[in-house]
Amino acid sequence: MAQLQPATAAYGDLPPELDDPLFRQALGQFDQVVERADVPPAVAEVLRYPERSLSASIPVRLDDGSLAVYPGYRVQHSSVLGPTKGGVRYDEAVTLGECAALAMWMTWKCALLGLPYGGAKGGVRCNPRALSRAELERLTRRFTSELLPIIGPQRDIPAPDMATDEQTMAWMMDTYSMQVGHAVPEIVTGKPLSVGGSALRPEATGIGVVTVVEEAVRRLGWGLAGTACVVQGYGKVGGVAAHELAVRGAQVVAVSDIGGGVYAPSGLDLAHVDGWRLEHGNLSGYRSAEVVTNAELLELPCDVLVLAATENQVTGANADRVSARLVAEGANGPTTLEADAILGEREIPILPDILTNAGGVAVSYFEWVQDIQRLFWGPDEIRTRLGDLMRRAVERVWTLSEEEGVPLRRAALVLSIREVAGALTARGIYP
Ligand code: NAD
């Protein structure tokens, strides 16, 4: 096997477009484990940065006839293990650096689960709540057109993320298919069933989160029955996770969304919460439980705190007031490096994002495989395969964490970075 020589020239300071707090967080995590993962310096230097990034300006005709232009991005971190894979988000905080961090985490997540993918991420900086459905469709189709040179079923396969859903994926699939002249369902995952989506994909991330939590509490000797859970972010991940926790016997005592949080120490009526959100859009104004702010929600006394909203939620400023016994990262990057250290000192274990929310990309992989084969599996088969994958990953991470006496995040990163670094070393650097 070819040995790469040590790096002779470092990349130097971060280029301004990557100089983003979230990318620094991802790099900080990488740097913490790279030595333990036994990665040669030259290989580490390659893996520290994204392979390819695209920035585009997305002009959109608004319903009133005016034109707005939104910044859009797609970052591919590594294609060493296969085509890149990752979500598309619509959010006012989207930057190239944020996408680069999320793309890097996707690489580690796929490797940890043994999926033949690298990581990517993309998004458009906009306020999706201020756009009509027709405007969102035009935005999505134009964004997809801008991505055409770099996406493809064997190159880069988008999926839903914050404020995007199966309708967004159907528009992306249709736009791509119109360009190539035939239906290409395998270009995106998270599509509706009617256009080649997979059973259980909408629920996959939330179910995966709860599978990891259940495995963790079993190993900690508590079990899920009666466990008091707080869920921040009642969206595609957190909403499903809250229901799945309740189904498996836990007690969901508080949830929140962009409109605020609600708390009932004896357990929330989730069906009632769903009804309110369906009618009003978010939790603002909900009065059938105690109202708490999102900041207060993170500090509520509970057994398990599920972070399923967005990044940068538990920080150096509030980590010492988190009152949970276990933190589960349903969202990507919700705990800063500083908070990681504080929770570590307080002996509050963190179930890391690259393990905990990997159920989404696992079933996305199943969807892609089914699309390529034009052969579809039933929900029971997918649930079994998902459960097996997630439990195997927890087992590997937990074992390494115990063997080496390191936090779960470090163990997960060591396992995945080793995998990618090994493949890169074997392939070598082209030319
Ligand atoms: P979503 O848009 O469906 O849900 C996000 C939820 O969080 C919404 O209810 C929103 O109102 C709420 N929210 C946003 N900011 C908040 C804040 N500051 N405080 C409280 N609530 C807030 O998005 P999603 O797909 O559920 O993604 C949530 C997180 O999970 C993101 O970090 C995403 O990258 C990650 N993730 C998603 C998937 C997936 O399959 N959708 C897979 C892996 C990871």
- Both tokens of 285, joined, read 């104004």
The pLDDT value given to residue 13: 74
Expressed in angstroms and rounded, the spacing between residue 182 Cα and the centre of ligand 1 is 33
Beta strands of 116-250 (E only): which ranges? 118-125, 156-160, 228-232
Q: Which atom of ligand 1 is nearest to the CA of 159?
A: 40
Expressed in angstroms and rounded, the spacing between residue 427 Cα and the centre of ligand 1 is 36
Structure-derived torsion over alpha carbons of residues 353, 359, 362, 363, reported in degrees to the nearest 10: -150
Q: Which atom of ligand 1 is nearest to the CA of 259?
A: 11
Expressed in angstroms and rounded, the spacing between residue 47 Cα and the centre of ligand 1 is 27
Nearest to 82 by CA among 23, 132, 153: 153
121 flagged as catalytic: yes
- Give the residue, by CA position, lying nearest to ligand 1 atom 30: 331
The pLDDT value given to residue 115: 98
**Around Cβ 2, how many Cβ atoms within 10 Å?**
8
The pLDDT value given to residue 2: 47
Active-site residue among 85, 109, 121, 236? Answer: 121
End-to-end CA distance of the chain: 16
Q: Which atom of ligand 1 is nearest to the CA of 353?
A: 44
Calculate the alpha carbon distances from 132 to 65, 72, 127, 171, 278 in Å: 13, 18, 11, 15, 17
- Give the residue, by CA position, lying nearest to ligand 1 atom 21: 257
Nearest to 147 by CA among 108, 184, 121: 121
Eight-class DSSP state of 121 = E
The pLDDT value given to residue 11: 52
**Residue type at 139?**
L
Q: Which residues line ligand 1 (CB under 6 A)?
A: 87, 160-163, 205, 232-238, 256-258, 282, 294, 308-310, 330-332, 357, 360
Q: What angle do CA 190, 423, 352 make, to 5 degrees?
A: 50
Residue-level pLDDT, tens digit, the chain, 431 residues: 445 554 444 455 788 999 999 999 999 999 999 999 999 999 999 999 999 999 999 999 999 999 999 999 999 999 999 999 999 999 999 999 999 999 999 999 999 999 999 999 999 999 999 999 999 999 999 999 999 999 999 999 999 999 999 999 999 999 999 999 999 999 999 999 999 999 999 999 999 999 999 999 999 999 999 999 999 999 999 999 999 999 999 999 999 999 999 999 999 999 999 999 999 999 999 999 999 999 999 999 999 999 999 999 999 999 999 999 999 999 999 999 999 999 999 999 999 999 999 999 999 999 999 999 999 999 999 999 999 999 999 999 999 999 999 999 999 999 999 999 999 999 999 99
- Give the residue, by CA position, lying nearest to ligand 1 atom 27: 162
- Give the residue, by CA position, lying nearest to ligand 1 atom 20: 257
Tokens 């949080």 appear where? 261
The pLDDT value given to residue 404: 96
Expressed in angstroms and rounded, the spacing between residue 107 Cα and the centre of ligand 1 is 20
Q: Which atom of ligand 1 is nearest to the CA of 234?
A: 9
Cβ proximity of 33 and 417 under 8 Å: yes
Q: Give the mutation target among 98, 124, 198, 237 for probing the ligand 1 site: most ligand atoms within 8 A of CB.
A: 237
